[in-house]
Amino acid sequence: MIANLLRSVGIGLVTALIVIISVPSLRNHIFPPTKNPSPTNINSLQITFNQAVRRAAPAVVNIYSRKYAANDRSKLSTQGLGSGVIVSEKGYIITNYHVIAQADQVIVALQDGRVAAAQLVGKDRRSDIAVLRIEDSNLPVIPQNPNYSPQVGDVVLAIGNPYNLGQTTTFGIISATGRSSISVDGRQAFIQTDAAINEGNSGGALVNTQGELVGINTASFQQATDLETYGISFAIPYKLANKIMEKIIADGRVIRGYIGIDGQDISSVASRLLGNEHIGGIIVLGVDPNGPAASAGFKPQDIIIKIDGKKINGRQSVMDLVTDLRPGTTIHVDVIRKGKEITIPVTVAEDTRD
């Protein structure tokens, strides 16, 4: 009885399946096709950085360097072209040192049509930063976020005045950070980007997708090396540019600390031999015989692990720390020498190297 019932049910299910497969209209009715949701407005799919540009672009200015004629001091002619960024309502503008280095007069043109002669507040060749100031009201100021940290892969926009074509925005990503190989002394870390930077872009703004200042565009790899390359450009990080600006405003120049040590990061093997607590230390390779470190007793092969009781994090961190110290400051440096840990006090001098 039960066997006959199960056989009948099975035959019915098989028959129904055959009918559904054979008649598509029934199949579509019973199993309606899945519909992929489509946007009600195709414009919602558009990716745009219009708002970022609208926030940042008004504060990016054109800079024209003018120089007196060699045979007639009454005549000024435009010799250089660049860009700058208004970073303060007081009219302070950050640009590149090389944009205004040879200028007798600097003219700033805003995007709203205003033109003004700029005062040179100060300049610093080593960082390639110069600070200008203009006197005017209701000046546009570029958005700034001191908590933003550039990361590889971040989308960025370069805004400037290439070849005096007028304000132009190019697009790319941050390709690398901490690039120091093209700096004057190998000590300054740049942001590398593939956003196009050409002549006239120097001193302009590198911004993120919020329109916040990421860096000051300074050079393409081709400009720095005379090699024909594309997609390799550099910018001075905003935090460094802002720090240099504050020093120039305060002192009229950049005062840097100096102790006279050259070193390199310890290898991973040496780190393991010293113990994990010493990761981040640096090995002293050379000591300036006329510098404070030599007077304090530093020697090559010393391993620096702490400054004023705080662990260091590689060569760059030590350079940044010492550079920011005021001359006359005494610091206590913990070093490992021949397996023994000692503390050496050293008084910071002013770095007078150009």
pLDDT tops 90 at residue 59: yes
H-type alpha helices, 176-261: 221-225, 238-251
Q: Which two tokens stand for residue 289?
A: 């015989």
Q: Which two tokens stand for residue 33?
A: 């096709």
Greatest mean pLDDT among 79-83, 107-111, 174-178, 313-317 lies in 107-111
Q: What share of the chain is helix, strand, coil (3-state, %, to 5)?
A: 25, 35, 40
Q: What pLDDT does 139 receive?
A: 96
pLDDT tops 80 at residue 42: no
- pLDDT band with cut points at 50, 70 and 90 for residue 265: confident
Within the chain, what is the greatest distance between any pair of CA atoms?
122
**Catalytic positions, please?**
98, 128, 202
Count Cβ atoms below 10 Å from residue 38 Cβ, excluding itself.
6
What is the average pLDDT across 128-137? 94
In this predicted structure, which of 198-202, 211-215, 290-294 has the lowest mean pLDDT? Answer: 198-202
pLDDT tops 60 at residue 24: no
Q: Are 109 and 115 in contact (CB under 8 A)?
A: yes
pLDDT over 90, % of the chain: 50
Residue whose entry in the numeric block shows the structure tokens 């300049």: 123
- 41 Cα distance to chain centroid: 37
Count Cβ atoms below 10 Å from residue 282 Cβ, excluding itself.
24
Q: What pLDDT does 160 receive?
A: 93
User: How distant, in Å, are the alpha carbons of 58, 114, 232, 301 from that of 136?
Assistant: 15, 9, 36, 55
What is the average pLDDT across 200-210? 94
Spatial neighbors of 36 by CB under 8 A, at least 6 apart, are: none
Q: Which pLDDT tens digit goes with each residue over 141-199?
A: 999 999 999 999 999 999 999 888 889 999 999 999 887 655 555 567 889 999 988 88
- pLDDT band with cut points at 50, 70 and 90 for residue 315: confident
How many degrees, rounded to 5, is the angle at CA 150 between CA 246 and CA 194? 110
> Could you tell me which residue, 164 or 5, shows the higher pLDDT?
164
pLDDT tops 60 at residue 35: no
> Could you tell me which residue, 281 or 40, shows the higher pLDDT?
281
pLDDT tops 70 at residue 94: yes
How far, in Å, CA of 234 to CA of 181, rounded? 11
Q: Which pLDDT tens digit goes with each residue over 100-112?
A: 988 889 999 999 9
What is the average pLDDT across 113-126? 93
> Could you tell me which residue, 289 or 27, shows the higher pLDDT?
289
How far, in Å, CA of 291 to CA of 257, rounded? 11
How far, in Å, CA of 65 to CA of 78, rounded? 6
Q: What pLDDT does 79 receive?
A: 78
Q: Are 86 and 74 in contact (CB under 8 A)?
A: no
pLDDT over 70, % of the chain: 78
Q: What pLDDT does 313 receive?
A: 84
Tell me the pTM. 0.77
Q: What pLDDT does 270 receive?
A: 60
Q: Are 142 and 87 in contact (CB under 8 A)?
A: yes
Burial of 74 (0-12, 13-18, 19+ CB in 10 A): exposed
What is the average pLDDT across 82-100? 95
How far, in Å, CA of 52 to CA of 210, rounded? 5
